[in-house]
Amino acid sequence: MTILSFTLILLAGAFLAGLLGSLTGLGGGVVIIPLLTLVFHVDIRYAIGTALIASIATSSGSASAYVKEGITNIRLGMFLEIATTTGAVVGALIAVFIPTSIVAVIFGCVLIFSAIMGLRKKREAFSDEDVSKLARDLKLNGTYPAGGELVSYKVRHVPGGYFMMTFAGVMSGLLGIGSGALKVLAMDNIMRIPFKVSTTTSNFMIGVTAAASAVVYLQRGYVSPGLCMPVVLGVLLGAFGGSRLLVKANTKWLRIVFSVVITFLALQMIYNGVNGKL
Amino acid sequence: MKRLFSSHFWADKDVQQLIGKQLRIGVILSSIVVFIGGMIYLSRHGHESPDYGTFAGVRQGLDNLPGIIQGIMQGKGMNVIQLGVVLLIATPIIRIALSVFAFLLEKDYLYVFITLLVLGVITFSMVGGLERL
């Protein structure tokens, strides 16, 4: 295979990943690493560097729209970014000491977790009851526009959420993914934030979190331009196309299919990791 | 008092607009640079075969900004792509820097501090020598 055909196939694969990722809300980054390692037999370290850059691209691209609409809770995002960036730096640090086969297994587990998170029934659990002094002092409570009016919500369990965010940051730095599923879990289930706010705020934070570890990986030589070029352009185009299609598509079935695909890829990553093939 | 409140509200809105615009410009600009670099790279190396199976790190000069700029001067496509990648990484970091000013304008010194803390962590990851470990 020549570099030209390799680039074109990768571009198509990344486009599909970005399209499905944005249609299902699972993010395109999750399939970039299995795509590169399992299909193209790229070393997992190059794959991690590439996926990190792709996640910065998609996160910044879609965050720009949400921030303008005023859904994103900028203060909450800013505060939790202390946790995710320190986590990401720690993750990038320990990545050197962990064998790639174990990284592959951890990646597979996080991937399966993301698939389950994508399928679970969502139940709003936020309330306007003001119980956390810390949330008040840090000005984390907010409002978001829904159906022409502003809905207000109060944040809970700030330390628990902060801790979970640090963990999400470590995973992001170690595996080169946005770990949006972990971030949303911390915000929905622990901090009791409305879905719309938690998904957009998570998205807003992914870029900064990924950037914190990306500078380390770039200097380590993990970020290869030959891979980043088709992947970044493909994922961005796909995500843009997905946001256009979103209104028309039946996302329920798509989510199920995509989750099955992700689980299959995850098992393969774990299998290859255990056998030392990655 | 009411006017004060509304002026704060608008300042907040303006900042959101500004951050939104900056993120979009950053992504568009870096994709254009990546695309241009990609064309140069493909036209020169498109017929060669890719080699990513074993990890050897990137070619020298692609892992630091001075090296990237130097390669661009020599017309290397890979370095142009890498410049686009650096611009992409810089996009959310510039957003943080913008937020410092935004919170300063709002006289929200707690968040000026929090934002500077995040900026500090990122700066540490850049210049802390972590890559040599």
Kindly report, residue by residue over B25-59, the tens digit of the pLDDT.
999 999 999 999 999 999 999 999 998 988 988 98
Contact of B9 with chain A, judged by CB distance below 8 Å, is answered with: no
Q: Which residue of A has its CA nearest to B42?
A: A4
Does B57 contact A220 at a Cβ distance shorter than 8 Å? yes
ipTM of the complex, rounded to two decimals: 0.91
Which pLDDT score, from 0 to 100, does residue B1 have? 42
The answer for residues whose C-beta is within 8 angstroms of residue A131's C-beta and 6 or more apart is A154, A156
Please provide the DSSP assignment of B72-123 as one string: HHTT-HHHHHHHHHHHHHHHHHHHHHHHHHHHHHTT-HHHHHHHHHHHHHHH
Contact of A266 with chain B, judged by CB distance below 8 Å, is answered with: no
Contact A83, A162 (CB under 8 A): yes
Which pLDDT score, from 0 to 100, does residue B84 have? 97
Which has the higher per-residue pLDDT, A248 or A127?
Answer: A127
Give the count of domains, chain A. Answer: 1
Which pLDDT score, from 0 to 100, does residue B128 have? 80
Which tokens hold the place of A188?
Answer: 């929905």
Does B42 contact A214 at a Cβ distance shorter than 8 Å? no
Max CA pair span of chain B = 69
Nearest to A1 by CA among A52, A39, A47: A39
Residue window 111-130, chain B: list those with CB within 8 Å of chain A. Answer: 111, 114-115, 117-118, 121-122, 124-126, 130
CA A239 to the chain's CA centroid:
13
CA end-to-end span of chain A, whole Å?
21
Contact of A218 with chain B, judged by CB distance below 8 Å, is answered with: yes
Which tokens hold the place of B45?
Answer: 């190396």
* Low-confidence winner among A46-50, A85-89, A242-246, B64-68 (lowest mean pLDDT): A242-246
Average pLDDT over residues B13-28: 86
Contact A235, A17 (CB under 8 A): yes
Span B77-127, pLDDT tens digits: 999 999 999 999 999 999 999 999 889 988 899 999 999 999 999 999 988
Count the residues in chain A. Answer: 278
Span A143-153, pLDDT tens digits: 888 878 888 89
Which has the higher per-residue pLDDT, A45 or A117?
Answer: A45
| Minimal CA separation from B107 to chain A, in Å | 14
In angstroms, the Cα distances linking A165 to A16, A82, A104 are: 29, 9, 21
Q: Which residues pair with A146 in a beta bridge?
A: A149
Q: Which residues pair with A149 in a beta bridge?
A: A146
Q: Which residues of B touch A230 (CB under 8 A)?
A: 38
Confidence band for A254, pLDDT divided at 50, 70 and 90? confident
Each domain of chain B, given as residue ranges in start order, spans: 19-47+54-132
Which pLDDT score, from 0 to 100, does residue B11 have? 59
Confidence band for A251, pLDDT divided at 50, 70 and 90? low
Q: Which domain holds residue A76?
A: 3-274
Which pLDDT score, from 0 to 100, does residue B9 have? 54
Residue with tokens 């698939």: A115
Span A8-36, pLDDT tens digits: 999 999 999 888 877 776 666 778 999 99
How many CB atoms lie under 10 A from the CB of residue A3? Answer: 18
